[in-house]
């Protein structure tokens, strides 16, 4: 086992251990992948001010995220098919998140169902909702999440049309692989044996719940046909009535949209371009964060995803106005590489990186981090 010192180490091990079509599913963006690459690159364009001569004996990385206490200002993002990256993946990440003290968000398109994750963890988690054409199914999902004790509903707003990822098309991505993919799977015996042994092999939130969806074959067609281009703000109001609890809107990338959400009484949004998987050519999440923060002021809490790979990135996001970040690909890398222990180690690495960064920037707590603590590498300090 190689020494794992950073997120990139997880990625390299993940690439070796998981079938190519599932690695490519996670490690890709839409069309030219410009936005996918921009998300990481724009973090690096933010320099952190180094400060000295301050007592940094005690450094506190705890935060409040959407009103919930967290030992680190991170939550695990909703990622579809997480249980394909590693057998029982959703449950493993949820347990590691519970033990460390950070939120976990379960995807609508998870392998393990809402009920299975709730039973395995025994603790509330957040649920992410895709709004599809079948509103009866959407209503049922909302009520199932409520019955399972989910504490937050995270509504994804930027999937009313599907961005194309060329790698998925070329790989003929499917839960039922073709001959080419089967040959690649044969080179991943650890993954294959674990997947053969796990009882979690289906899309537990959909199969047996959505109308006419009884197996994998019917689900794949349904997933494409059910994408709803009519999703609008009136639907958000309907969801609020059905849920009657805290709602987070994910996929906001414009100050005007953020102000609309604030005007509706939404208290938390996630500044996100879906990891560069939807609108290619969009700006990075981190570049839009300060503009949105300026537009909404103290009217709402901002979180951020897309491009976060280090504790330094977490610091940068806090400085630009985010209460915390969502980890998507970093989570997938760690899970695919090492399962639940990988997720626990990922959190330890990020906490150490964040603590070190805070100390060298002269910060004892997250609340003291502000806009003046970072500056663009294209400008003077």
Residues with a catalytic annotation lie at 274
Spatial CB neighbours of 241, under 8 Å, sequence gap ≥ 6: none
The CA distance from 70 to 56, in Å, is 21
**Which region, left, alpha or beta, applies to residue 31 given φ > 0 means left and ψ of -120 to 50 means alpha?**
left
The CA distance from 291 to 284, in Å, is 12
The torsion of the CA quartet 294, 322, 64, 126, rounded to 10 degrees, works out to 110
107, 125 in Cβ contact below 8 A?
no
Strands 46-48 and 374-376, bridge-based pairing: antiparallel
- In terms of Cβ atoms closer than 10 Å to its own Cβ (0-12, 13-18, 19+), residue 201 is middle
């Amino acid at each position: 086992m190689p020494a794992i010192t950073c997120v990139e180490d997880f990625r390299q091990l993940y690439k070796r251990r998981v079938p190519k079509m599932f690695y490519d599913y996670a490690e890709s963006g839409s069309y030219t992948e410009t936005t996918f690459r921009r998300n990481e690159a724009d973090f690096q364009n933010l320099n952190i001010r180094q400060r000295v001569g301050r007592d940094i004996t005690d450094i506190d990385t705890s935060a409040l995220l959407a009103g919930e206490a967290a030992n680190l200002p991170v939550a695990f993002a909703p990622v579809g098919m997480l249980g394909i990256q590693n057998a029982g993946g959703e449950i493993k990440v949820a347990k590691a998140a519970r033990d460390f003290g950070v939120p976990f968000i379960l995807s609508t398109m998870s392998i393990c169902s809402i009920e299975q994750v709730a039973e395995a963890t025994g603790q509330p988690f957040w649920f992410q909702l895709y709004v599809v054409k079948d509103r009866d199914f959407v209503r049922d999902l909302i009520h199932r999440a409520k019955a399972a004790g989910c504490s937050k509903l995270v509504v994804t707003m930027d999937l009313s049309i599907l961005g194309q990822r060329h790698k998925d098309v070329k790989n003929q991505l499917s839960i039922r692989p073709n001959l080419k993919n089967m040959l690649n799977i044969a080179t991943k015996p650890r993954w294959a044996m674990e997947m053969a042994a796990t009882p979690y092999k289906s899309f537990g939130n959909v199969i047996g719940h959505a109308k006419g969806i009884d197996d994998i074959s019917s689900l794949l067609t349904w997933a494409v046909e059910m994408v709803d281009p009519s999703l609008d703000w009136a639907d958000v109001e309907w969801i609020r009535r059905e849920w009657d609890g805290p709602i987070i809107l994910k996929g906001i990338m414009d100050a005007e949209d953020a102000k609309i959400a604030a005007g509706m009484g939404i208290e938390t949004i996630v500044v996100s371009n879906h990891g560069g998987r939807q609108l290619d050519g969009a700006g990075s999440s981190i570049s839009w964060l300060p503009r949105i923060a300026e537009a909404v002021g103290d009217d709402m809490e901002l979180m951020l995803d897309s491009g976060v790979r280090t504790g330094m990135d977490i610091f940068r996001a806090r400085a630009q106005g985010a209460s915390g970040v969502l980890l998507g690909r970093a989570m997938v890398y760690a899970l695919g590489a090492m399962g639940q222990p990988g997720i626990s180690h990922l959190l330890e690495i990020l906490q150490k990186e964040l603590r070190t960064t805070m100390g060298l920037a002269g910060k004892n707590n997250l609340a003291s981090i502000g806009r003046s603590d970072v500056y663009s590498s294209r400008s003077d300090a």
